A and B are shown apart, each in its own frame.
Chain A
Amino acid sequence: MSQSTSLGKGGVCVMQQEDFKPGARTQMEWGFGGRRRWRDGALLMALFLGGIGAGQFVVSTWLIDSVTSALVGLIVVGVGKTVAHLVYLGQPTRFYRLFLRPKTSWISRGLIFMVVFVAFGAAYLAPDIGFAWVPWETGSTFSDALLVGAILSAFLVMVYDGFVLLTCKSITAWNTALMPPLFFTYAVAGGTAMTYLTLIAMGSEIPNQSTLTTIDSVLLVSMFALLVIYIVNMTTSNATARESLRKLTTTKVAIAFIGVAIILGLLVPLTLTLYHEVAATETIASVLLALSSILELSGDLSVRHSILRAGLHTPVFSEGL
Chain B
Amino acid sequence: MVRLGMVIDLKRCTGCHTCTVACKAEHHTPPGVFWAKVVRVESGKYPTVIRQAVPLLCMHCKEPECEKVCPTGATKKKDDGTVTVDSKLCVGCRYCAVACPYGARCFTPEWKDYFTGEKKPSSQFAEYSKKKWLEESDKGVVSKCNFCEERVKEGKKPACVNACPTEARTFGDLDDPESEVSQLIKKRRGMQLHPEYGTDACVYYLPGR
Majority SS at the chain A contact face? loop
Residues of the A chain whose Cβ atoms lie less than 8 Å from the Cβ of B32? 17
Say how far A95's CB is from chain B's closest CB, in angstroms. 6
Say how far A78's CB is from chain B's closest CB, in angstroms. 19
A123 to B91, CA, bound (A): 30
Q: Is B133 located at the chain interface by the 8 A CB criterion?
A: no
In the complex, chain A residues 286-321 whose Cβ is within 8 Å of any chain B Cβ: 311, 313-319, 321
Known: A29-B94, A169-B65. A90 touches B41 (CB 8 A): no
Q: Is B193 located at the chain interface by the 8 A CB criterion?
A: yes
A214 to B70, CA, bound (A): 41
Q: Select from chain B the residue with minimum beta-carbon distance to A104.
A: B68
Q: When the two chains form their complex, are residues A95 and B197 in contact, meaning their CB atoms are under 8 A apart?
A: no
Q: When the two chains form their complex, are residues A22 and B140 in contact, meaning their CB atoms are under 8 A apart?
A: no
The count of A-to-B residue pairs whose CB atoms sit within 8 angstroms is 142
Q: When the two chains form their complex, are residues A97 and B72 in contact, meaning their CB atoms are under 8 A apart?
A: yes
Q: Select from chain B the residue with minimum beta-carbon distance to A39.
A: B109
Q: When the two chains form their complex, are residues A170 and B101 in contact, meaning their CB atoms are under 8 A apart?
A: yes
Say how far A62's CB is from chain B's closest CB, in angstroms. 30
Residues of the B chain whose Cβ atoms lie less than 8 Å from the Cβ of A239? none
Q: When the two chains form their complex, are residues A316 and B98 in contact, meaning their CB atoms are under 8 A apart?
A: no
Pick out which of these stretches binds chain B: A105-113, A145-153, A258-266. A105-113
Q: Is B79 located at the chain interface by the 8 A CB criterion?
A: no
Q: When the two chains form their complex, are residues B70 and A29 in contact, meaning their CB atoms are under 8 A apart?
A: no
Q: When the two chains form their complex, are residues A316 and B103 in contact, meaning their CB atoms are under 8 A apart?
A: yes
A88 to B91, CA, bound (A): 10
Residues of the B chain whose Cβ atoms lie less than 8 Å from the Cβ of A95? 91
Residues of the A chain whose Cβ atoms lie less than 8 Å from the Cβ of B138? 91
Q: When the two chains form their complex, are residues B71 and A100 in contact, meaning their CB atoms are under 8 A apart?
A: yes
From A19, A29, A91, give the contact of B91 (CB < 8 A): A91
Residues of the A chain whose Cβ atoms lie less than 8 Å from the Cβ of B34? 17, 19-20
Say how far B58's CB is from chain A's closest CB, in angstroms. 12
A39 to B110, CA, bound (A): 13
The 5 A-B pairs with the shortest beta carbon distances in the complex, nearest first, are A90-B92, A90-B140, A170-B101, A97-B72, A29-B94
Which B residues are within 8 Å of any A CB, using their own CB? 10, 32, 34, 37, 39-43, 50, 52, 54, 56, 65, 67-74, 89-95, 97-103, 106-107, 109, 138-142, 191, 193-194, 197-198, 205, 207-208
